[in-house]
Structure 1
Amino acid sequence: MRILVAPDSFKGSLTAMEVAKNIKKGINSYDSKIDVELLPMADGGEGTVQSLVDATNGEIIEKEVNGPLGNKVKAFYGLLGDQKTAVIEMAAASGLPLVPEGKKNPLKTTTYGTGELIASALDAGAQKIIIGIGGSATNDAGVGMAQALGAEILDAEEQQIDFGGGNLDKIEKINLDKLDSRLQDVEVVVACDVDNPLYGKDGAAYVYAPQKGADPEMVKILDQNLRHFNQIAIKELNKDINKIPGAGAAGGLGAGLVAFLDAELKAGVDIVLDIIDFESYLKDVDLVITGEGMLDGQSIYGKTPVGVSRSAAKKDIPVIAIAGTLGEGVEKILDYGINSYFSIIDRPAELKEIIEESPELLANLSEQIIRTIQI
């Protein structure tokens, strides 16, 4: 019997590789002759860099950059095994966890550090750059990112505007003549699983800025500034980016990556499946085991287990999903190629206890699953 183990991470607990190893441990503790192949997965969110580095025998590269508030922070990105593809999580440089609770303010936060990670990836020889844009602290439409790469985002006095979404209304001119020339030969793909426009009631400011520290008045200012940014992009770059699905992701970074770097926005799990050539791993596989920390009704919208199951279903390979916890509507995943699902929780317990024991719980559940299959 040959089993492919292809889970996402259990966020806050285990990396995707750690999840996979513990599933394998449980299976082989029952029958060491079962052939178990490990393939850590991700969907473009937190943990994508580590998962793809693990899956391709790549490396993590650490880099000191400007954080969301302009102070120096230690960030990272991944250079995959082909040495030609870099994977960046914008949250590593410009994420909300990097801002102290009392200092959250999307009028001031910047994506400059994300641009510095892109520049470092270019220095490393990357020919393709994949950027996951979840978890941002910013609302600057990627202007800081562009400035870090040499773009001139100028005010009426032809000076670079200051950091933050609060200064987008000062933009009068965009000059990309000094943008890093290496970008012309690099493919930039953005992992984005939301379809919000840049501005408006469903846009970046109204939907996401409050969790980044914006009060109602700040939200109005940020939204107006994003409208202004789009008008300038139309005038200076001949690009109307407002209604591109995902333009409003990460405080408008989705829009900025399209406007400044001609990036393509795609579903994160599809990017990952493509990078690792997932279907090639399905040859002679009898069963796929996937999973993530939480399975619920939202898992059908671009999450790893359903991305995996859709591919496996094309070859009529059964799929079992394992989760830390099961949420409302989880039964919906059964319509997307997943044959059955399980939670590792085997008794009433505190969350902290479950997290601490998750390796053992994963192994135990996996052993019971394979015992059942072998009956």
Structure 2
Amino acid sequence: MARVLIASDKFKGSMTAAQVGDAVASGIRHVLPNADVSVVPVADGGDGTVAAAVAAGFVAIPVRATGPTGEPVETGYARRGDIAVVELADISGLVRLPSGEFAPMTATSRGTGEVIDAAITAGCRRIVLGIGGSASTDGGAGLLRALGARLLDAEGADIGDGGAALDRLDTIDLAALRERLADVDFTVACDVDNPLTGPYGAAAVYGPQKGADGGQVAALDAALTRWADCIAEATGHDLRDRAGAGAAGGVGFAAVAALGATLRPGIELVLELVDFGAQLAGADLVVTGEGMLDEQTLYGKAPAGVAAAAGAAGVPVIAVCGRNTLTAQRFRSAGFTAVYSLTEIEPDVRRCFTDGAALLRRLGARLAAEHLSSEFAAAPGEFGPRPG
């Protein structure tokens, strides 16, 4: 009996990781009714990270927190024992901007700090923080303020939220934060190596993606420079050039400089959280995927991490995706035996979004027939004729 492990990321804007896995599993079982198929949703540290943890047995804990522009959002974290998994994207991310309107100068990471604070209050002492998808460029200042830091101007008054406000920063008081976090350990999922400031920093590289024009990028970079100066004075360490400091608008910097966090690749962390190694034992095939399989996939995205882990265990890996731009030579060199894309069987991209589950069932049937069964058992019907 074939044993298949499906460990896919979401198809962004279309299906969750769990929905992708269920659709592929349905297609496989259509061909091989007795197959042992397990679905283990994964993520790369961005959106979907908490969902992956919950699917792996963590408990979802709801929290109301401050969104990136100050409005309350209903969000939460995932908990198992004293471990809390927090996902910045769902709290302070671009998806939380009202009506999709950017706020490059004023958006804050405060809400992410509030969720972390709630987890600590509930007794969690190990925080795993995924920081992809941020809407702010505030250097993580809002996050630190929610955990007890005070950011003061020259008159001793608290400055406002957002990256632009850091230009008025004079001193930082970390006493309450240090007391609050004395026995708390932080690990941050981070897949970029940008420094905090300069031409490759948070404002210059990611500011335009968050709505900042040229003048605003320059102002934000200057404000982040002031922020780094003050943090260095308060901590005795200057970590603005640390690889990953510029992640999530500078949240990576705040995490390492003020929280003592360890930065690790997102998919590596998630695979540990879902106990992927144990799930992999005895598998004949692993299926992974994401919406777009391209060169970026090979640099820290979930499918590449799954392929590396499965490959190390000697288990073949197949990818499913909405669209694939990799050559056969390229994806094989990355550890994928084969790639199946929705656009192979449905060139209308709109239908790939609206009918993705049905199309994935067809791909699941096809890969089962071609890689797990000596003959194609499915007749035209629910999944249609054999594609390709």
Q: TM-score, normalised by structure 1?
A: 0.94
CA RMSD of aligned residues (A): 1.8
Residue 329 to residue 157, structure 1, CA distance change in 2 (3 Å): farther
3-state DSSP of counterpart to 2:219: helix
Q: CA deviation at 1:213?
A: 2.1
**In structure 1, what is the equivalent of residue 63 of structure 2?**
63
Which residue of 195, 198, 203 maps to 1:197? Answer: 195
The letter for the 1-side match of 2:90 is: A
3-state DSSP of counterpart to 1:272: helix
Q: CA deviation at 1:320?
A: 0.8
Q: CA deviation at 1:348?
A: 4.3
3-state DSSP of counterpart to 1:325: strand
Residue 296 to residue 371, structure 1, CA distance change in 2 (3 Å): same
Which residue of 298, 301, 308 maps to 2:299? Answer: 301
Which residue of 289, 314, 319 maps to 1:291? Answer: 289
When structure 1 is superposed on structure 2, of 320-329 and 266-275 the one drifting more is: 320-329
- Per-residue CA shift, 1:220-254, capped at 9, x if unaligned? 11111111111112211112121111111111111
Which residue of 169, 172, 181 maps to 1:171? Answer: 169
Question: How do 1:261-276 and structure 2 match up within 5 A?
Answer: 261-276=259-274
Pairing 1:25–2:26 present: yes
- Per-residue CA shift, 1:47-66, capped at 9, x if unaligned? 111112112x2232222222
The letter for the 2-side match of 1:295 is: L
Q: CA deviation at 1:76?
A: 2.4
**In structure 2, what is the equivalent of residue 106 of structure 1?**
104
**In structure 2, what is the equivalent of residue 145 of structure 1?**
143
Q: How far, CA to CA, are the matches of 1:165 and 1:235 in structure 2?
A: 19
Q: How far, CA to CA, are the matches of 1:224 and 1:329 in structure 2?
A: 42
Q: How far, CA to CA, are the matches of 1:15 and 1:330 in structure 2?
A: 26
Q: How far, CA to CA, are the matches of 1:282 and 1:306 in structure 2?
A: 16
Q: Among all aligned residue pairs of Structure 1 and Structure 2, give the percentage whose two residues are the same amino acid.
A: 41
Q: CA deviation at 1:331?
A: 4.5
Q: CA deviation at 1:349?
A: 4.3
Which residue of 65, 89, 92 maps to 1:91? Answer: 89
The letter for the 2-side match of 1:92 is: D
3-state DSSP of counterpart to 2:63: strand
Residue 204 to residue 347, structure 1, CA distance change in 2 (3 Å): same
Q: CA deviation at 1:30?
A: 1.4
- Per-residue CA shift, 1:32-87, capped at 9, x if unaligned? 211112211111111111112112x22322222222222222222222xx332211
Q: How far, CA to CA, are the matches of 2:136 and 2:192 in structure 1?
A: 16
3-state DSSP of counterpart to 2:240: coil
Asked if the contact 1:42–1:52 (Cα under 8 Å) also holds between the matched residues in 2, the reply is no
The letter for the 2-side match of 1:35 is: D
**In structure 1, what is the equivalent of residue 158 of structure 2?**
160
Q: CA deviation at 1:204?
A: 0.7
Q: How far, CA to CA, are the matches of 1:319 and 1:71 in structure 2?
A: 43
The letter for the 2-side match of 1:26 is: G
**In structure 2, what is the equivalent of residue 359 of structure 1?**
357
The letter for the 1-side match of 2:181 is: L
Is there any run of 5+ residues in structure 1 with no aligned partner, and where? Answer: none
**In structure 1, what is the equivalent of residue 381 of structure 2?**
none
Which residue of 186, 189, 205 maps to 1:188? Answer: 186
The letter for the 1-side match of 2:294 is: D
Residue 42 to residue 229, structure 1, CA distance change in 2 (3 Å): same
When structure 1 is superposed on structure 2, of 341-350 and 64-73 the one drifting more is: 341-350
The letter for the 1-side match of 2:77 is: Y
The letter for the 2-side match of 1:59 is: V
Alignment size in residue pairs = 372
Asked if the contact 1:116–1:149 (Cα under 8 Å) also holds between the matched residues in 2, the reply is yes
3-state DSSP of counterpart to 1:137: coil
Residue 106 to residue 367, structure 1, CA distance change in 2 (3 Å): same
Q: CA deviation at 1:295?
A: 0.6
**In structure 2, what is the equivalent of residue 15 of structure 1?**
16
Question: How do 1:208-219 and structure 2 match up within 5 A?
Answer: 208-219=206-217
Asked if the contact 2:52–2:274 (Cα under 8 Å) also holds between the matched residues in 1, the reply is no
Q: How far, CA to CA, are the matches of 1:29 and 1:102 in structure 2?
A: 41
Q: CA deviation at 1:101?
A: 5.8
- Per-residue CA shift, 1:266-294, capped at 9, x if unaligned? 11001112222322222221111111111
**In structure 1, what is the equivalent of residue 51 of structure 2?**
50
Q: CA deviation at 1:121?
A: 1.3
When structure 1 is superposed on structure 2, of 246-255 and 124-133 the one drifting more is: 124-133
Asked if the contact 1:127–1:187 (Cα under 8 Å) also holds between the matched residues in 2, the reply is yes
Q: How far, CA to CA, are the matches of 1:366 and 1:348 in structure 2?
A: 15
Question: How do 1:340-351 and structure 2 match up within 5 A?
Answer: 340-351=338-349
Q: How far, CA to CA, are the matches of 2:328 and 2:208 in structure 1?
A: 28
